[in-house]
């Protein structure tokens, strides 16, 4: 009997050869750990994955995102260490500013690190930063103690994150540190590229050992186009004030037109491209029985009594409202919202004259919009980041797209 052509060695060899050729890139990757793309260029696997994903490597602001993420990560490593030994920071590392608000060695050191990275990579850009070095340059014992501590903690953080020094640089003496802090004096405005930096947002939370965030945004011609928020103490899952679990430390990023993303903050000592991060989305919940509201902790920063009235009008039950309210310091509130773990953020003004600072909201703003939500002032008007160092509006309200208008209606009813 004639042997079937399908069983001939030549045929079987040809089939194996075709399969191998079709999977050449996989086979090469298996053997060498590298990937060969058709042009014969060898690139690392993580970059290959990014190229193949829906988010291209050449997405807008890729380099800005990489530098911002590394700088925020280094500042987060530094502030997390201080936060874990908060008793020492409280005692000798804190100064009270003229407006009676606290500033710590962590705020100064984080601002120096991030400003330095921006200047090194984007020397033509301006920076609106919260802090300045005036107090540190004074000839006092307090200034000397604070400055020595700042130099020490910056050196420590740089050593721990030395793998990214080629990208974000390093600071080795106090003069350079003071000059770097003072790069943050831009008056803001509606033209050009301006970074907004809050080196520690929620300093009061930081000093309690609670939530705080390192917040950096890029504003272009008055519009926020990129935001990176390092949340060193934030658990991955926030269900209520009592129920919070999962990995501690999150990095939240958004690029206008690309999306909003989450990745653990301390897992990796390199920049994770967005394609390898988790895309995050706002909720669509509008049910009064299950919606969650995020608010600040400090009663001096937002009116908790006005917020209670708004929750009443929205139909939250008085017996369960405490379980539906999550109190968190800093811009971590925007992160929890963007991740779909809460539906509304209420920040009702305590005074008629207070104007919010752009660095307190810029990064969170683009994060919420890119996750599919809205942010406005108490009238629902979008926040204008092109008016200088301050917003010229009152309060902040944010929510998912479905609920936002209803919340604004309730706010108007109460005010
Ligand atoms: N009267 C006030 N109303 C609203 N925000 C205020 C305020 N006084 C201070 N803040 C701001 O509230 C921020 C903290 O927000 P939250 O209360 O949501 O944690 C502070 O940021 P810093 O901690 O960076 O100084 C500070 O800028
Ligand atoms: Mg402050
Ligand atoms: Mg702040
Ligand atoms: Mg701050």
* Bridge partners (DSSP) listed for residue 228: 216, 253
Give me the sign of the Cα torsion angle 50, 55, 56, 58: negative
Residue whose entry in the numeric block shows the structure tokens 């990937």: 35
Q: What is the pLDDT of residue 87?
A: 79
Ligand 1 within 6 A of 354 CB?
yes
Instruction: Look at residues 121, 366, 336, 334 and name the one whose alpha carbon lies nearest to residue 255.
Output: 366
Task: Take atom 3 of ligand 1 and give the residue whose Cα is closest.
Answer: 301
Does the pLDDT at position 108 exceed 60? yes
Calpha distance 328→296 (Å, rounded): 5
Ligand 1 within 6 A of 107 CB?
no
Ligand 1 within 6 A of 203 CB?
yes
Q: Which atom of ligand 1 is nearest to the CA of 300?
A: 1
Q: Which atom of ligand 1 is nearest to the CA of 204?
A: 23
Q: Residue 119's Cα: distance from chain center in Å?
A: 20
Q: What is the mean pLDDT of residues 376-391?
A: 98
Q: In which band, very low, low, confident or very high, does the pLDDT at 403 lie, cut at 50, 70 and 90?
A: very high
Task: Take atom 5 of ligand 1 and give the residue whose Cα is closest.
Answer: 301
Does the pLDDT at position 415 exceed 80? yes
Q: What is the pLDDT of residue 12?
A: 62
**Which contacts (CB < 8 Å, 24+ apart) does range 50-55 have?**
50/273, 50/275, 50/276, 53/275, 53/276, 54/275, 55/258, 55/259, 55/273, 55/274, 55/275
State the Cα angle at 400 between 398 and 403, rounded to 5°: 95
For ligand 1, the distance from its centroid to the CA atom of residue 58, given in whole angstroms, is 36
For ligand 4, the distance from its centroid to the CA atom of residue 266, given in whole angstroms, is 21
Helix or strand run (H / E) with residue 35: strand 35-36
For ligand 1, the distance from its centroid to the CA atom of residue 101, given in whole angstroms, is 9
Q: What is the pLDDT of residue 29?
A: 35
Instruction: Look at residues 22, 56, 39 and name the one whose alpha carbon lies nearest to residue 47.
Output: 56
Question: What separation in angstroms does the CA of 95 have from each of 51, 102, 104, 155?
Answer: 47, 6, 6, 21
Between 2 and 178, name the one with better pLDDT. Answer: 178
Pairing of strands 35-36, 244-255: unpaired
Task: Take atom 4 of ligand 1 and give the residue whose Cα is closest.
Answer: 301
Q: Residue 274's Cα: distance from chain center in Å?
A: 13
From 98, 200, 206, 301, give the residue whose CB has the most ligand 1 atoms within 8 Å, as the site to mutate. Answer: 301
For 412, the 3-state DSSP assignment is helix
pLDDT tens per residue across span 210-269: 999 999 999 999 999 999 999 999 999 999 999 999 999 999 999 999 999 999 999 999
Buried b (16+ CB within 10 A) or exposed e, 338-361: bbbbbbbbbbbbbeeeeebbbbbb
Ligand 1 within 6 A of 330 CB?
yes
Q: Residue 351's Cα: distance from chain center in Å?
A: 28
Pairing of strands 193-201, 126-129: parallel
Q: In which band, very low, low, confident or very high, does the pLDDT at 52 lie, cut at 50, 70 and 90?
A: very low
Percent of the chain with pLDDT over 90: 85
Calpha distance 207→279 (Å, rounded): 31
From 83, 94, 202, 358, give the residue whose CB has the most ligand 1 atoms within 8 Å, as the site to mutate. Answer: 202
Q: What is the pLDDT of residue 90?
A: 80
Calpha distance 51→45 (Å, rounded): 10
Give me the sign of the Cα torsion angle 381, 382, 384, 390: positive
> What is this structure's pTM?
0.88
Percent of the chain with pLDDT over 70: 87
Residue whose entry in the numeric block shows the structure tokens 């160092």: 389
For ligand 4, the distance from its centroid to the CA atom of residue 191, given in whole angstroms, is 24
Task: Take atom 10 of ligand 1 and give the residue whose Cα is closest.
Answer: 301
Q: What is the ipTM of this complex?
A: 0.99
DSSP letters of 316-359? --TTTHHHHEEE--TTHHHHHHHTTS-SEEEE--SSSS---BGG
Q: What is the mean pLDDT of residues 186-212?
A: 98
Q: What is the pLDDT of residue 350?
A: 98
Residues classed as catalytic = 107, 203
From 201, 297, 361, give the residue whose CB has the most ligand 1 atoms within 8 Å, as the site to mutate. Answer: 201
Helix or strand run (H / E) with residue 237: strand 223-238
Q: Residue 231's Cα: distance from chain center in Å?
A: 7
For ligand 4, the distance from its centroid to the CA atom of residue 373, given in whole angstroms, is 24
Ligand 1 within 6 A of 198 CB?
yes
Helix or strand run (H / E) with residue 310: helix 304-313
Tokens of 285: 């919940």
DSSP letters of 115-153? HHHHHHH-TT-EEEES--SHHHHSSSHHHHHHHHHHHHH
Q: In which band, very low, low, confident or very high, does the pLDDT at 146 lie, cut at 50, 70 and 90?
A: very high
Calpha distance 84→232 (Å, rounded): 10
Whose atoms come closest to the Cα of 301: which ligand?
1
Q: 70 — phi, psi (to 5°)?
A: -65, -40
Pairing of strands 259-264, 244-255: antiparallel
For ligand 4, the distance from its centroid to the CA atom of residue 108, given in whole angstroms, is 10
Calpha distance 221→224 (Å, rounded): 8
């Amino acid at each position: 009997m004639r042997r079937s052509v399908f069983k001939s060695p030549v045929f079987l060899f040809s089939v194996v050869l075709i399969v191998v050729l079709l999977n050449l890139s996989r086979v090469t990757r298996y053997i060498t750990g590298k990937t060969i793309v058709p042009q014969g260029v060898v690139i690392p696997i993580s970059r290959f994955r990014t190229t193949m994903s829906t988010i291209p490597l050449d997405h807008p602001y890729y380099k800005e995102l990489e530098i911002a993420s590394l700088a925020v990560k280094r500042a987060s490593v530094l502030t997390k260490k201080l936060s874990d030994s908060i008793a020492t920071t409280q005692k000798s590392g804190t100064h009270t500013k003229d407006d009676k608000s606290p500033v710590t060695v962590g705020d100064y050191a984080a601002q120096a690190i991030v400003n330095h990275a921006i200047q090194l990579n984007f020397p033509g850009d301006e920076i609106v930063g919260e802090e300045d070095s005036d107090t540190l340059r004074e000839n006092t014992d307090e200034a000397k103690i604070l400055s020595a501590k700042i130099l020490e903690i910056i050196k420590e953080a740089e050593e721990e994150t030395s793998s990214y020094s080629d990208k974000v640089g390093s600071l080795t003496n106090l003069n350079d540190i003071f000059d770097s802090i003072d790069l943050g004096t831009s008056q803001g405005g509606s033209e050009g590229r301006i970074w907004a930096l809050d080196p520690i947002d929620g300093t009061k939370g930081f000093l309690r050992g609670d939530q705080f965030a390192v917040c950096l945004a890029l504003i272009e011609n008055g519009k926020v186009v990129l935001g990176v928020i390092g949340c060193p103490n934030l658990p991955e899952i926030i269900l209520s004030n009592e129920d919070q679990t999962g990995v501690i430390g999150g990095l939240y990023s958004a690029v206008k037109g690309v999306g909003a993303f989450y990745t653990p903050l301390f897992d990796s000592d390199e920049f994770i491209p967005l394609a390898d991060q988790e895309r995050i989305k706002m909720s669509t919940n509008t049910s009064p029985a299950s919606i969650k509201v995020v608010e600040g902790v400090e009663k001096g920063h937002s009116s908790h009594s006005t917020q209670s009235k708004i929750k009443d009008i929205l139909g939250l039950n008085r017996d369960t409202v405490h379980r539906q309210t999550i109190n968190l310091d800093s811009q971590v509130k925007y992160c929890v919202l963007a991740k779909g773990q809460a539906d509304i953020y209420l920040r009702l003004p305590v005074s008629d004259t207070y104007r919010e600072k752009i660095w307190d909201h810029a990064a969170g703003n683009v994060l919420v919009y890119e996750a599919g939500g809205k942010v406005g002032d108490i009238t629902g008007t979008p926040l204008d980041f092109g008016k200088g160092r301050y917003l010229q509006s009152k309060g902040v309200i944010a929510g998912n797209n479905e609920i936002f208008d209803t919340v604004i209606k309730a706010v108007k009813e109460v005010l």
